[in-house]
Chain A
Amino acid sequence: MNLNRRQFSAALLAAAAVPSGTFAADATLTVNKLVDPSKLIPIAISGFTGEVLSTLRFDLEVAGCSVVSADQAVALVHGTNGARLEGFVSDRAKNYLLTKGYAGAGARQLAHAFADDVVFALTRTRGIAQTRVAFKSKAANNTGEIFVADYDGHNAVAVTRDGSIIAAPSWGPGSQWLAYTSYKLNNPDIFSHNLVTGERHIVARYGGSNMSPAVAPGGRLVAMILSKDGKPDLYVADIHGRGLQQLTRSREGVSSPCWSPDGQWICYVSNDEGPALLYRIPANGGAPQRLRTTGVFNATEPDWSPDGKSIAFTTQGGGFDICVVPAGGGEVQRLCAGQDPTWAPNSRTIMFCKRGRGGPLSLSLLDVPTKRVKDVPLNFGNCSQPTWAR
C-alpha cells in the first residue's frame, strides 16, 4: 500500500469515502480504525528517551492513542531528543504526516508541543497537552490552597497562601480570572483573583454562606450561590462583585452553577422536586427549565462542554459516577467512577476527582469516547475540584 501524505491524511478524515482501486483491503480497515473516536488509535513510539518519552506517551494516551509495537501500529511517532526535539509522524510505508523541530524550552514543554502536533496530524483536532488546570489541595487540618498546574499535574504553583479552608476554584474561560470560596475572613466568602496581576477582590461577603462561584466565559461575570435572603439561591454579579442580581427563588435551595460556553445560560442544581436535579436559566434572568437526565435519580456539579453540546455531571448511588447528557437534556451516559468533572478545551477530555474509600482525593483524566482513565500524578495532599483553563 503506497499512500502519499495527502491521501493518507484524507483517508484519516473521511471514513465514508473510501477510494477504490489503488487501496488494498487493509488500508480500508486502517482508515476506519482512525476515524472512529471511540476506538483507540494504535501508534508506535521510537527514538525518544527519558522525560520526553514519558511525557509524550502520557499525552498521546490521554488523547486516545494506545502505544503498541511498530508492526501493529497505524502511525509511527518517532524522532530524537537532545537540546532540540525532532519529531516525525508517518504511516508504516514511511509516508510522512508531520516533520517538525522544536527548541527553546524545557524537555516537557517540547514534548507537549510535539504531542499536540501529533494529535492534530492524526485526528485534525487541537490537542490539550499545553493547557493548564487549577484545583484545590487540602491538608490534614482541613485548610487548603488553590494550585495552578499543567494539565498533567506538573509545574504546580500555589496561587493562594491563606492557610484557611478554601473551595470551588473556577477559571473563567478565555480569561485570567479565577474565583473561589475562602474562609479566610471567618465566613465562606467569594474572592476573584487575577492570575496575571495577583489582585484579589471580594465578590460576595454577605450574611450567611457565599458559595460555589462560576466565572462566565470572558471573565466579566460570576454566578454564585448566596444564602443571604434565607435560602441558598443563584445570583450573578460582575467579577468585582458589583451589580448583584438574584436569578432563582427556590423553595429548597440550589447549588453548583456553571455557564454555557456562549454565556447565555446557567446550569445549576436544585432540590425543589426532592432529589438534586439539573436546571438551566437564562443568565440575565427568566424562568428555570428542568433538564431531563433519563437514567439517573440525582445529578450534581454540572460542567457545560466548550462546544456547547453536552453537560458532564456527577450522580450518586452507592458511589459517585461521572455522566454526560446532551445539553438540551435526554439520555444519560455513565462514563466512570468519580466526581466533579471539568471539560478540557477539546470537549473530549474530562478531568475529575477520584475518592478512594478512606484514601486521599486525587485527580484523573478521562477520554470520553474511549472511556479510558489515566491518573494525574500529584504527590501533595488531597487534590479535588479541578477547573480547566479553556
Chain B
Amino acid sequence: MNRSLFLKFAVLTLLSAVAITGCKKTPKNVTPIYGAKTNVDGRGGPTDPTFPQTSTNPRTPPTIGPGGDLPSTTPIRPETFNPPTSNPPTNFTPTNPEGGFRSAELGEFEGMLTDREALRGSTVHFDYDKSVVKATEVVKLQEAVKALKANPNFKLLVEGHCDERGTEEYNRALGERRALSVRAQLIKSGIAPTRLRTLSYGEDKPAELGHTEAAWAKNRRSELVLLKPKN
C-alpha cells in the first residue's frame, strides 16, 4: 500500500520534471535577437548561456557568458519614423531643417533581390576625406536614374566606402556621408527618397587591397546596388 503510493508519487515527480525541462529547449544554430522581426541563422553559436553569479565589483568582471541566444519577442520599433510619402514625383523638399532627407524604414526594402552587376559602371569615386560628388562623377549616376525611372518598383541601395587612411569609426561616418550625398544627387534627379537606402562599410570592404594612392583612390567610392522585387 505504502509502496504503491510512493511509486505513484515518484512517477508524478518524474513526469513534471520532464514537462518543465523538456519545454525549454532552444533550437540549435538559431540566434534570435530581441527586437528583430525574424530569427537569424547563426553559425553554431552557443545556445545555452550560463548564468554565473553577478559580481558587484566592476574591477573583477565575472565569467563572460556567450553571445545572445534568446527568443525573439517584440518586432522592430518604428517609433519616430515619418517616411515622406505624398511628395510630388520630381520635386522633393528636405524633411529636416538641415536639408537632409529622412531615411525610409528598413522594412520597406525587406525581401528584395539585390543586383550588384546592373549598375557596376555607376560606382562614384571621391577625393580624399571628401563626401562631395564631383561634377565629373555626377554623370555616372544617369544610368541609375534611368533604371529607376523605367522600373517604378525598383529601389536602390547606396553603399559608402573609404580608404584605410582615417580612423575606423571616422571612416564609417565618412562612408555614410558619401552614400548620403549620392542619395541627395539622385533625389535631385527626381528619384523619390523612399526608394533609396544608404549604408556605410567604412574601410571594412576595400575594392582593392594595397597601400598605394592608386588603391586608395579606388576604395574611396560609393557603389550602387539595384534592388528588385521578388516577383
Contact = CB atoms under 8 A, between A and B. Distances in A.
Interface of A: 130-132, 138, 142, 148, 157-163, 165, 167-168, 173-176, 181, 183-185, 187-188, 191, 193-202, 205-209, 211-212, 225, 227-232, 240-242, 244, 249-256, 269, 271, 276, 300-301, 314, 316, 320, 339-340, 345, 355, 357-358, 384-385, 389-390
Q: Main SS of chain A's interface residues?
A: loop
Interface stretch (B4-12, B103-111, B117-125, B134-142): B103-111
30 contacts: A131-B59, A161-B45, A161-B66, A162-B43, A185-B36, A187-B106, A193-B67, A195-B65, A196-B52, A201-B34, A205-B35, A207-B81, A207-B198, A208-B197, A209-B198, A211-B176, A225-B172, A228-B102, A228-B103, A229-B103, A230-B95, A241-B35, A249-B96, A249-B98, A253-B176, A253-B177, A254-B173, A256-B173, A300-B167, A385-B169
A318 B101 CA distance: 35
Contact of A231 (B33, B44, B98, B167): B98
A196 B62 contact: yes
B58 A206 contact: no
A300 to B, nearest CB: 4
Name the residue in B43, B59, B173 with the highest tally of chain A Cβ atoms < 10 Å from its Cβ: B173
Name the residue in A161, A162, A230 with the highest tally of chain B Cβ atoms < 10 Å from its Cβ: A230
A201 B31 CA distance: 12
Interface string B83-103: 000000000001111111111
Given A162-B31, A200-B34, A255 B173 contact: yes
B201 interface: yes
Size class of the B contact interface (CB-based, 8 Å): 35 or more
B58 A207 contact: no
Interface of B: 31, 33-36, 40, 42-46, 49-52, 54, 58-70, 76-77, 79-81, 94-106, 108, 131, 164-170, 172-177, 179-180, 197-202, 204-205, 211
Contacts of B211: 357-358
Given A176-B54, A228-B102, A230-B100, A167 B199 contact: no
Given A157-B64, A183-B201, A230-B95, 12 more contacts: A167-B169, A167-B172, A195-B62, A196-B52, A199-B68, A200-B34, A207-B104, A208-B198, A209-B199, A227-B198, A241-B35, A251-B98
B69 A163 contact: no
A162 B67 contact: yes
Contact of B103 (A195, A206, A249, A271): A206
Contacts of B44: 161
Given A249-B97, A316-B167, A202 B36 contact: yes
A211 B200 contact: yes
Contact of B35 (A176, A198, A201): A201
Contacts of B65: 194-198
B76 A205 contact: yes
Nearest to B193: A230
A114 B186 CA distance: 63
Contacts of B34: 199-202, 240
Contacts of B81: 206-207, 228
Contacts of A249: 96-98
Contacts of B169: 167-168, 211-212, 255-256, 300-301, 340, 385
A195 B59 CA distance: 14
Contacts of A174: 58
Contact of B64 (A148, A200, A212, A390): A148
A227 B182 CA distance: 14
A165 B67 CA distance: 15
Given A227-B176, A358-B211, A163 B98 contact: no
A195 B67 CA distance: 8
Nearest to A165: B204
Contact of B176 (A200, A206, A209, A244): A209
A316 B180 CA distance: 24
A321 to B, nearest CB: 11
Minimum-distance CB pairs A-B, first 10: A230-B100, A207-B103, A200-B68, A198-B49, A202-B35, A255-B173, A198-B65, A208-B103, A300-B170, A174-B58
A181 B172 contact: yes
Nearest to B51: A197
Contacts of A168: 168-169, 172
